[in-house]
Structure 1
């Protein structure tokens, strides 16, 4: 084996080790390529042949390559090469033209320090033309190969390897160390997974129940229902209408019209009811005992009713428009006028508060 052959073999081993730390671009899924190849052929297995055309010395070979990687595991490649050799016995120049076609397999993901291994098998057709020979010789051969490839950029691949070629007619085996560069085109890389984007919907505010009646605002026809009210399906408070009727007795001294202080608390309670129920009205009826004439008693009873009205207006700020007064005289006694005690009870003003009140029902 010559020094050049040894040098090429050493380079195939040393180059992967020297670039082990370098970051290599990834191989495409598929690509086409053309390139150049240089090799050294060890034809030592044919040195025992007697004819010059078969007995060739070791020689370099140069060529071009063309191929396509169909997927991460298979490549089809063709090559056309030229070799300039000499015969061993008489140093006669020999031109060697060779065409070959091979299939290669390689792992999709396995790498050796960034290098991708490959193995292949192929067919070669060789035309050997020896100077001075009456005709050239052709040979059919089969070969096996193996080696390493590395992406050195997005467009270039470097490879190196060895081949063993068997000549089918004579059966001899030649060895070959080779190195080459390929220029890539029509590359197809793995596509990133499609990212489905969704438009974020506008935030939807939860339904509100501003007045807390259990009916959401979007259905509430009565949005300001008081807290705790019993409501219908439309959010409106259920109401109850009831009649208001309160009676007050204010007694007077004989022939007197002044309202005694002892009755102010009771009058105030009645005033509070009138404030609470603003649609209510009050009737004040004045009464007397049977002492005196009927006409006098009529006027006296009216004055007593007016006195109670003045207390309501001045002391408790009740509008006089809501109060009616009338004098009943001695016509409606509630006790026996024959006794002092009975007459005292008859000297009175009756306050009657009436009206209708609608109130919200509670839960």
Structure 2
């Protein structure tokens, strides 16, 4: 039996080499690590033993798809020592390997299958070959599409025979290096694109127009204190919103010639515009001043009351909308 186990691993490797080709599903690997013997039923007749040793092996695998592969190989599981001899196990694995891809280069996997093991008990000078169940878990990291490394644990259940030479559970934990013949690159893990943030809807603010009508005495272009007070909200609007403009329009009643009244209306508009510009720092480019003379009355010029209403200067800042 010992010679069979020495020959089969070589045969497995040769088989893998024969089938190697570009982009084929075959791979081969080697592993090494530690072993621990547990539940040494009937192995060394109740005596204490050194249950820890080293182990290792070689294996070949075939990927059927991205998540399932079949692996077979030779594994040496070391020896539980007692005195100058002990209970030594080696054999052949055949397992299914189930893989979950975590990222482009990192996998986790589980293995489940059988182990044809040769248990050689040197203490009682007996050996036995039997079939035992085995299972494992591990992590696999791909350095590139051809080479990967594994960290794994594998459990072997009741290797040997109860009456002779005895049986034991065996734990293997170690590292593997795997070569993949032309293996396809790992399937990229595509993260879902985040939902685009909705464009903010600008808030539209409506700014109301501000204005005033300043009365003037007959044949006068002088500002009164009341006129100045009426101009305050208009001027503040200009200061608060630097893109706004001030419109100033002067008017007269119908007494006097058209030419004189036109000149008087322009003078009244200029006085108001000059006051706003000088006292509130408003650039003259933002002020439009003009006179309309007696041409746009708002009341009948035949009465004193009507004529007083017509002697005026209209000032206003137009309303507008803005976003914020």
Fold match, TM over 0.5?
A: no
Q: TM-score, normalised by structure 1?
A: 0.39
Larger radius of gyration: 1
- Larger RCO of the pair (alpha carbons < 8 Å, separation 6+): 2
